[in-house]
Amino acid sequence: MSVWPAWEVREHESVTSWFYVRPAFEDGAQVDVLAVACEADVSVEDVRAQPPLSLDDLAVLADWIEEPLFAAIGAPTAPSCAPEEASARRARPPWPSGIEGRWLVAAEYRAAQGDGIDPVLAVMCATGHSRRKSLRLIAGARDAGFLAPRHARR
């Protein structure tokens, strides 16, 4: 995997750095990533892949590039995080299963709608799950009758 700096912006005491990352795949696939590192946060800003990545692959892309990116930055774990904090940051919060979990998903979804924000993103943040898993949880809440059907039947 190749990682090289693109550019850097310094403002007061904080530094935001952009990096190009190119994972190497044996099957000849090519993926070019533009990643941003700012304080204790690393995010993916742009991805270009040939052949296109599946949604599952795109969901784990950050995990693929995290270690080489931190090595390029010079941090063994997340920048400015202690190892204990980095592992705690990754831990998924406990989320109840069954009917209670579906009810909580529906409550989170409706609260986000009321606040005018993306309800799927709100469920993702509350559960700690990926977008795909959160959509499944929302569908389960709909099936349980806690949310209105997605489409009106004619």
Domain ranges of the chain: 2-89, 98-143
Asked if pLDDT for residue 90 goes beyond 90, the answer is no
How many helices (H) and strands (E) in the chain? Answer: 5, 4
Q: What is the share, in percent, of the chain residues with pLDDT greater than 70?
A: 82
**Nearest in space to 33 (alpha carbons), one of 48, 18, 16:** 48
Q: Are 14 and 79 in contact (CB under 8 A)?
A: no
pLDDT of residue 43: 78
pLDDT surpassing 60 at residue 89 = no
Please tell me what DSSP assigns to residue 146. S
Give the torsion sign (CA, 122, 128, 133, 137): negative
Do the bridges between strand 2-11 and strand 30-38 make them parallel or antiparallel, or are there none, so unpaired?
Answer: unpaired
Segment 91-119, tens digit of pLDDT:
455 678 888 889 999 999 999 999 888 89
Query: Residue 46 has which token pair?
Result: 């742009």
Chain-wide mean pLDDT for the chain?
A: 78
Say what the pLDDT of residue 40 is: 60
pLDDT tens, residue by residue, 30-48: 888 888 877 666 778 888 8
> What pTM was computed for the model?
0.45
Which pLDDT does position 106 carry in this prediction?
A: 93
User: What pLDDT is recorded for position 84?
Assistant: 43
